[in-house]
Chains A and B, each alone.
Chain A
Amino acid sequence: MDMVLIPLFAGIGVAVGLYARAVPQGGRSWWGFAAATVALALAARLAGHGWAGTLLAAAAELAAAGMIWSQSPAAARKYLLAIGLGILATSAALALTGFGEIRPATPLDRLAVALLMIGMALKLGLVPVYFWLPAVARSCSAMTTALIIAVVDVGTFCELLALRPIAPWMFEPYAAVWGALAVASLLGGALLALAQNELKPMLAFSSIDDMGYLLLGLAAGGAEGLAGAWFGILGHALGKLVLFGAVGAAEWSLGRPVTLQTRGLSSRLPVAGAAFMLGALGFIGIPPTLGFAGHWRLYQTGLELGGPALVAAMAAASAMALLCYVRAIHRTWLGPMGSHEARALPRLAAAVLLVLALVPVAFGLAPDRLRPASEIHVAAIRTGSVP
């Protein structure tokens, strides 16, 4: 049983539920689809690596479409196109390889690798097939996007992590292609995040940037790479949840989207402001947050995989992320309050945000507390015994 992701998903489900009680995220159908998404993702983790797990994960991905559809059918169509094709491509790749156990003859092996790459790129929203993620972020409530990123995408990435040791032939000979996909995502995501005016799409692009980092760890493999990806994905899930949560709180308070023209929200929403800042610091990878524990390993992995040039690219992406988040913090949260009216945040939502913001810092101060779980998981990944 997955002793990390299952509690993580369950915790996220509870946190989102409590938050959504205080700050409404959608109607009755939203609640139903959100609960189904989390439950199916949990079930997929319980089922493990195999057809049952894959089908349950696909069901979770499709249930998430229901959340989106209830708020924006146009965004849901884009999401369904990407996820539908992604499911088809990855399922075909898994079928061709017997879930990675069999290496088919050339050119079927190459076809399987290409299908896996395109399928995962579509599902994770990597550059250049990220089209659904900003569309969903723009038109749906904050926690809808947060759930998709923190539960659905994280589950998908963990499927890929599970496949890594079972079928190393799908990764090691093609490390350059996986690496190119990762670099395109981390640089493209960071650059496009910098160009956004609205905060939710900005967070979506920053998520693409972060996924690029994690993919690098996966492509490189090895203990450091996989541990980096593992710590990174946990930080990614918690960080994105708190960031979207803070922006969602601000949207609810203002009654309109939060943009770089919004001013001084911390005066009215100090907890949301502090949560956004802590989340951003974790995302940038500043110690002592959990983000640093992941980034530090991923830098080492980047050096092994692509030498100083790749490390320089990673640093450039991190620098752009820093500029992007610092600009958002200072234009939106700090400074004098703008002329807009803003409601105070309900205590329940503030408490949830505070806890979510402090957890990555607590684990960042003592990442070793996560190490037993991480080591078991990474060892299991490396030996191919992931459930």
Chain B
Amino acid sequence: MHPTTLPILLLLGGFAVQILLARVLTPVGKGVLATAATLAAFAASLALVPGSMDGAVAEAALLAPWDAGFTIGLRVDGLSVLFMVMGTGIGAAILLYSVRYMEHEAQGTTRFYATMLVFIAGLLVLAGAADMLGAYVAWEVIGLCSYTLVGFWYRQPAAADGARKVLVITHLAGYGFLIGLVLVHSRAGSLAWTDPAVADAFTSGVAALFIVAAMAKSVMFPLHTWIPEAMNAPTPVSALLHSACYVKAGVYLIARMYVVGDGRWLAAMGTPLLAVGCVTILVGVIFALAQTDLKRLLAFHTVSQLGYIVVALALGSELGLAAALFYCLSHALFKGTLFLCAGAVQHATGTRDLRELGGLAASMPGTARVWIVAAASIAGVPLTNGFVAKWLVFGAALDKGLLAVVLVGWIGSILTAFSFLKATVNAFYGAPSAALAGRTIHDAPPSMMVGMGAMAALCLVFGLAPQLLMLPIVAPAVRSLGFGWSVEMGWLGILTSQGTLAVTVGAGAVLVSGLLGLAVYRLAQAPAGGLVSVYSGGEPLPAGDRPGAVDFAGMAEHAFHPVYSLDPDPLYRTLWHGLTRIAGRARVLARATLEDRPSLAIGLAAAALAAGVWLV
């Protein structure tokens, strides 16, 4: 067994054992088995890191031969290892959390754990695929797994509808990938990522098709609307979907495109991609501000955060790619943590509606602490990995002279901070809502706490010492994409190799962040067990009153009203209704002419075919 295939085979082995022992194992046993398989796969993925640091590229066949002329083969380089480590590491934490979360599920736990394992394995195959066809197969396998998992509670209409939307939007956009690789194959006769013939065939049109597919998976505006609807799934599914295994597939695809022809496609597609990323940052966060459902709020933040990653990828520089990949890993950690915290809250209280929450810091202190670390990270507070990630993105944009991008990112960060302030205060501080009155609420059990706590701890570790992630994981990935590595990073993410402008602006950003944090802290008057007042975004509120989720949502909706008209769903609905109307009219016409009058149909067909044959 080749060490490159080992992580995938461990996951698939876990899947097979899940199926075989389905009738024997309890839900907890299935969870432990899945966690063990994923942890083993994580260890096997980590074992690939030294090789990738040395620049080694490992090749192995996974399904050989698969189909005439094609082998589902692996070519594992630095970028592959990054995604493999991320997928298995985050996956293991989430599956550990699932053990208790899913233990009371009456049925479907085998389906759940088996699909989760294939889901993670799919990401690993995608990341390691030696050619585009293998990547496409893995791409669709991931899509099917997410469809199955989002629709886990398929008897609930909301879950089934969410699953439908995931499949329709991502699969339809995925035809871009398929058509693109058909075009490449017809021109190059090969689909290997590193084949020089493929590089010549990979035109900007093909790149655009690939990017459309990536946009849908990575929730770029306007193809992002499936993600809030996918929230009616078990929380571990949401966490995996958002942090590691689904939305990151699009990020991977765009990053992988850099190995084709040294990223020549970027000349034509870089600016549109930057624009899409910037719009996505703002649309995502503005829609997040208006949410009162905790998971929907997090979902829109995924949209916004993916915007940062895509912007960094589109910069096309060494620092931009480093920023994108570091952000990708950081986002996996803090977003996975946030979703798991939201799940713990829902698990404990039975709701995730911010209007019905409050004061949970007293009854769920562990979850509250973990949440605050992750919330600080996504908001870009210094000492967290989120800060380092944003710092890198801003630095890379400044290096390119793109001040507008920095401005967009900065506005996005401020709005993110406000959004999480709202969520944190409304869920964890103040008095418990009337809906929770008289209920005994317990903190998350230890195994759930370990799962989310480990990821939150890493948010701090990689915030303090990002070089621990940069040197062994990110640098080999950037080098594998054909770039050098001259990024010198110190503690707290300080770029010691960058020019004065970036450092000055970055220092200013840190200072402003610190002052804002201090101001908010002062306004909040150090939340204890009682009521707190927070900055309300406007006039002071009457004494004793406090802004709730609804107030913030109302303010956001009022302030950003024009932005909410950018919701593309009405357009999709119009297209769907248009198509069904056309189909309905075609049916009426066809029934009246072709189906009810066979002789007319035969006559028409005979005349048309005869004319065609005679005219050719």
Residue total for A at the interface (Cβ-Cβ under 8 A): 69
Could you say which residues of chain B place their CB within 8 Å of the CB of A264? 155
A336 CB contacts on chain B under 8 angstroms? 155-157
The stretch from A144-152, A233-241, A246-254, A285-293 touching chain B is A285-293
Interface: A16 (CB within 8 A): no
Residue of A nearest to B595 (CB): A131
Main secondary structure of the interface of B (DSSP, over half): helix
- B414 adjacent to chain A (CB < 8 Å): no
Contacts of B586 in A (CB 8 A): 188, 191-192, 195
Assess whether B612 is in contact with A180, with CB atoms less than 8 Å apart: yes
Q: For residue B598, which residue of chain A has the nearest CB?
A: A131
Complex contact A366–B63 (CB within 8 A): yes
Q: Spot the interface stretch: B172-180, B459-467, B550-558.
A: B172-180
The answer to whether B167 touches A130 (Cβ under 8 A) is: no
A335 touches B601 (CB 8 A): no
| Residues 168-200 of B contacting A (Cβ, < 8 Å) | 168, 171-172, 175, 178-179, 182-183, 185-186
Q: How far is the CA of A195 from the CA of B579 in the complex (A)?
A: 9
Q: How far is the CA of A196 from the CA of B167 in the complex (A)?
A: 21
Residue B418 at the A interface, CB < 8 A? no
Total A-B pairs in contact (CB under 8 Å)? 162
User: Closest chain B residue to A300 by CB distance?
Assistant: B182
- B residues near A130, Cβ cutoff 8 Å: 594-595
Asked if A177 and B68 sit within 8 Å, CB to CB, the answer is no
Q: Per-residue 0/1 for A277-308: is the Cβ within 8 Å of any B Cβ (1 yes, 0 no)?
A: 00001000011100011001001100110001
Q: Which residues of A contact B136 (CB under 8 A)?
A: 287
Choose among A130, A266, A320 the residue with the greatest number of B CB atoms under 10 Å from its CB: A130
- Segment with Cβ contacts to B, from A2-10, A110-118, A339-347: A110-118
Of A82, A131, A174, A292, most buried by chain B (CB within 10 Å of CB) is A131
Cβ contact within 8 Å between A330 and B606: no
| Minimal beta-carbon separation of B562 from chain A (angstroms) | 31
With A134-B595, A334-B160: A194-B66 Cβ-Cβ less than 8 Å: no
Does B518 interact with chain A (Cβ within 8 Å)?
no
Docked Cα-Cα span, A318 to B172, in Å, equals: 9
Q: Is the CB of B605 within 8 A of A118?
A: yes
Give A375 to B182 CA distance when docked, in angstroms. 22
Q: A337 on the interface (CB 8 Å rule)?
A: yes
Is B154 in contact with A117, judged by CB distance below 8 angstroms? no
Which A-chain residue is minimally distant from B602 (CB atoms)?
A129
| B584 interfacial contact with A, CB 8 Å | yes
B154 touches A266 (CB 8 A): yes
Docked-complex contact A227 and B579, CB < 8 angstroms: no
Interface centre among B141, B157, B598 (most CB of A within 10 A): B598
Judge whether A300 and B185 touch: CB under 8 Å: yes
A298: shortest Cβ distance to chain B, in Å? 10
Tell which of A113, A303, A330 touches B183, judged by Cβ atoms closer than 8 Å. Answer: A303
Question: Which residues on the A side are within 8 Å of B583 (C-beta)?
Answer: 191-192, 194-195
B186/A337 in contact, CB under 8 A: no
With known contacts A335-B154, A337-B155, A191–B582 Cβ distance under 8 A: yes
A281 CA to B145 CA, complexed, in Å: 13
Is B610 close to A, CB under 8 A?
yes
Separation in Å of the B144 CB from the closest CB of chain A?
7
Task: State whether A129 touches B601 (Cβ < 8 A).
Answer: yes
A interface residue numbers (CB < 8 A to B): 78, 81-82, 85, 107, 110, 113-114, 117-118, 121-122, 127-132, 134-135, 173-174, 176-177, 180-181, 188, 191-192, 194-196, 227, 264, 266-267, 281, 286-288, 292-293, 296, 299-300, 303-304, 308, 311-312, 315, 318-320, 322-323, 326, 329-330, 334-337, 365-368, 371, 375
Given contacts A129-B605, A130-B595, A195-B580, 7 further A-B contacts (CB under 8 A): A176-B612, A177-B609, A195-B586, A300-B185, A315-B175, A315-B179, A337-B155
Residues of B within 8 A of A (CB): 63, 65-68, 133, 136-137, 140-141, 143-144, 151, 154-157, 160-161, 163-164, 167-168, 171-172, 175, 178-179, 182-183, 185-186, 576, 579-580, 582-584, 586-587, 590, 594-596, 598, 601-602, 604-606, 608-610, 612-614, 616
What are 25 contact pairs spanning A and B, CB under 8 A?
A107-B614, A110-B614, A117-B609, A128-B594, A128-B605, A130-B594, A130-B595, A132-B598, A135-B595, A173-B616, A195-B580, A195-B583, A195-B584, A195-B586, A195-B587, A227-B68, A266-B155, A287-B137, A287-B140, A292-B137, A334-B154, A335-B157, A337-B155, A366-B66, A367-B66
